[in-house]
Amino acid sequence: MNLRGFELRHLAALDMLLTERHVGRAAQRLNLSQPAVSNLLAFLRYHFDDVLLVRVGNTLRLTPFAETLREPVRRLLVDLNSVSSLRPNFVPETATGEIRIVMAEPTAAMLLPSLLGKIARAAPKMAVECIDVDSDINEFKRGEIDLMILPWDILHDDHGREKLFVDRWVCVACNETASWPEALDQEAFYSAAHIVPQGPQPLSAELAELGVVREVAAIVPHALIPDMVVGTPWLATVSLRLLQQRKLAGLRVFDFPFPDDLVIFGQQWHIETDQDPCSIWLREMVRSTVCELNFMPAN
């Protein structure tokens, strides 16, 4: 087969350049020097007889031809990854490699302590990387993410997915440092100072749609919010499951005073790994962990 010198490294560089549209960032993601990626780009331009990336002002944009390459290149990488991962069978006790799971910080705080222990006992030679939800979504599309555990409504329709459990928002406050009503209404919510999480949060978008603005007293990692409420006069809105796991004394728990649907969480895997034995095993690990933690099942 004559590929005119085209190699796998060129395919990987092409995909990253089409994704990042920036030579420096592509080099960083590929763990290469910027001159090395510049040389790869020069080869790709010669190979395709197209500049691929064109400077417009201070940014690089894809040429029309480069735009047509994005999906075919990504599909090729997914297929290559799938082929390279194939094994006659999957034996957890002797399996090696790395499992990459995307989930938000509060979900990780709820699931990981039990899930990691289960994986470590069943597959002691496999490593696990937990990736925050704001990671590059193209990694999932390229088949580089094994599983995503996220709210159901943001999962992709065209990949494998399964509902896992439901959760809901509650408000929590310290009972010893401030006087709180028996039930929290919207007026009390507005008048309180709040502890809010770092980074994006689905609740923030929901409140913005309702025109609700919180007075922010502190910004902390989401998983630490229940602990940070203790000893303060502030209010926080957290996942009920996360709060139940913390088992902290001296806290008042209120119903969320705004219209609030149950949050359905699911797990998602790339469609190319639907019948992959390792992926099937990993999904069962997650499913059994959720069951053992007595999370409310999602029907």
Q: Rg for the chain (alpha carbons), in Å?
A: 23
110 and 66, same domain (yes or no): no
Does the residue 22 lie in any domain?
A: yes
Task: Say whether 139 sits in a helix, a strand or coil.
Answer: helix
> CA-to-CA distance for 100 and 144, rounded, in angstroms?
8
44 and 181, same domain (yes or no): no
- CA torsion sign, 275 to 276 to 279 to 281? positive
- CA torsion sign, 183 to 186 to 190 to 196? positive
**pLDDT average, residue stretch 130-149:** 81
- pLDDT for residue 79 is more than 90: no
Does the residue 299 lie in any domain?
A: no
- CA torsion sign, 102 to 266 to 166 to 215? positive
87 or 297, which is more confident: 297
78 and 27, same domain (yes or no): yes
- Nearest CA to 250 among 170, 168, 177? 177
DSSP state of 234: -
63 and 137, same domain (yes or no): no
Single pTM value for the model? 0.69
Does the residue 225 lie in any domain?
A: yes
273 and 246, same domain (yes or no): no
Q: Structure tokens of 67?
A: 């735009």
72 and 127, same domain (yes or no): no
Indicate which CATH number applies to the domain containing 49: 1.10.10.10
Cβ–Cβ under 8 Å, residues 202 and 239: no
Cβ–Cβ under 8 Å, residues 60 and 50: no
205 and 152, same domain (yes or no): no
125 and 244, same domain (yes or no): no
Cβ–Cβ under 8 Å, residues 11 and 47: no
269 and 158, same domain (yes or no): yes
**pLDDT average, residue stretch 38-44:** 91
**pLDDT average, residue stretch 264-290:** 92
Indicate which CATH number applies to the domain containing 195: 3.40.190.10
- Reported as a single tens digit per residue, the pLDDT across 179-193 is 888 889 999 999 999
- pLDDT for residue 1 is more than 50: no
For residue 45, the enclosing domain spans 8-85
